A and B are shown apart, each in its own frame.
Chain A
Amino acid sequence: MIRANIYVTLKKGVLDPQGEAVSRSLQVMGYQGVQEVRIGKFIQIVLDSDDPEAAGRQLEEMSDKLLANPVIEDFRIEIVAGE
């Protein structure tokens, strides 16, 4: 079994309306130090596999095809546990 965390974030430079709205609200609530907020997705996947390399390639492919929208998003894969 291989467990992986995948972080999907908006590409640098792509407008993040959610982040902007949350950032403004945090400032209004008195958190003056807030410079920037970017909101992304966190996805956990468990794979029935014992080959971390193959799993990595597979996760890469999954992220590229489905989990992230390459037009506007980047992703980062973190393999956290395998046994």
Chain B
Amino acid sequence: MKFGVVVFPGSNCDADCYHVIRNVAQQDVEYIWHQQHDVKGFDALVLPGGFSYGDYLRTGAIARFSPVMPAVIEFARRGGPVIGICNGFQILLEAGLLPGAMLRNRSLTFICETVNLRVNRTDTMFTNRYAKDQILQIPIAHGEGNYYCDNDTLKRLQDNQQILFTYCDSEGRETEEANPNGSVANIAGIINEQGNVLGMMPHPERCSEPILGGSDGLGIFLSVIDWCQGVSRK
């Protein structure tokens, strides 16, 4: 199958995602320049991390108006898998593909460290390789990852089981201390109602090889591949 990694001016995890997909997950992958108008021929899209447009104005706010975005939105509407990581998540929020918004981290500082993440569902195209309630160790690296939404939205996310990943302690509890940035309900990653658009702040591409200290993140890429190739285990 073929992945597309969308490159915005200021994206900086594009090469990292490309590397994992090609060299670790062994799949076809191509960059998609933000000025392209279509995403034909791709089976899944990744909006990588970084600082598109310098994070100026609001994170993701300018990238959301890139020429490629209408095609990305159309791709998502038709059910194609879209993963937004970190800045990619922020762009998906600005584009309205996912609900909510990002605020600055509670600490007001950029945070780069490895956190515990609980997998809340395994019957999705992004998590079928994991066990329910499995705890993943995945790095975060962001200054604005404090997920916010109003109570109605939160209730909808909960009712529809859209909260895929939550920050937790080593026992899997969603404690205040385990919440690195102040996100509502310890939210680290959510999917849309249809279940084909994932936004997450942690960086799975940074922990997909043992030499980097762990490969807990690889499952997300492999899950999508399995799902696309119709061998989903569920």
Interface residues of A (CB under 8 A from B): 17-18, 21-22, 25, 29, 39
**Nearest 7 A/B pairs, CB to CB:** A18-B56, A21-B56, A25-B62, A21-B53, A22-B57, A21-B54, A29-B65
Chain A contacts of B53 at CB under 8 A? 21, 25
Q: Is the interface of A mostly helix, strand, loop or mixed?
A: helix
Chain B contacts of A29 at CB under 8 A? 65
Report yes or no: B56 in contact with A22, Cβ–Cβ below 8 A: yes
Closest Cβ of chain A to B198, distance in Å, is: 26
Chain B contacts of A18 at CB under 8 A? 54, 56-57
Complex Cα gap A21–B62 (Å): 9
User: How many residues on B have C-beta within 8 angstroms of the other chain's C-beta atoms?
Assistant: 6
**Which residue on chain A has the smallest CB distance to residue B55?**
A18
Closest Cβ of chain B to A75, distance in Å, is: 21
Closest Cβ of chain B to A72, distance in Å, is: 16
Complex Cα gap A25–B52 (Å): 12
Question: Which residues B50-67 have CB closer than 8 A to chain A?
Answer: 53-54, 56-57, 62, 65
19 A/B residue pairs, CB under 8 Å, sorted by A: A17-B54, A17-B56, A18-B54, A18-B56, A18-B57, A21-B53, A21-B54, A21-B56, A21-B57, A21-B62, A22-B56, A22-B57, A22-B62, A25-B53, A25-B62, A25-B65, A29-B65, A39-B56, A39-B57
**Which residue on chain B has the smallest CB distance to residue A21?**
B56
Chain A contacts of B65 at CB under 8 A? 25, 29
Chain B contacts of A21 at CB under 8 A? 53-54, 56-57, 62
Over the window 27-53 of chain B, the binary record of Cβ atoms lying under 8 Å from chain A Cβ atoms (1 yes, 0 no) is 000000000000000000000000001
Chain B contacts of A39 at CB under 8 A? 56-57
Closest Cβ of chain A to B69, distance in Å, is: 12
Complex Cα gap A81–B65 (Å): 39
Complex Cα gap A18–B62 (Å): 11
Chain A contacts of B54 at CB under 8 A? 17-18, 21
**Which residue on chain B has the smallest CB distance to residue A19?**
B56
Closest Cβ of chain B to A13, distance in Å, is: 19
Complex Cα gap A66–B142 (Å): 25
Complex Cα gap A21–B56 (Å): 7
Chain B contacts of A25 at CB under 8 A? 53, 62, 65
Complex Cα gap A21–B52 (Å): 11
Closest Cβ of chain B to A10, distance in Å, is: 13
Chain A contacts of B62 at CB under 8 A? 21-22, 25
Complex Cα gap A22–B56 (Å): 7
Complex Cα gap A46–B57 (Å): 26
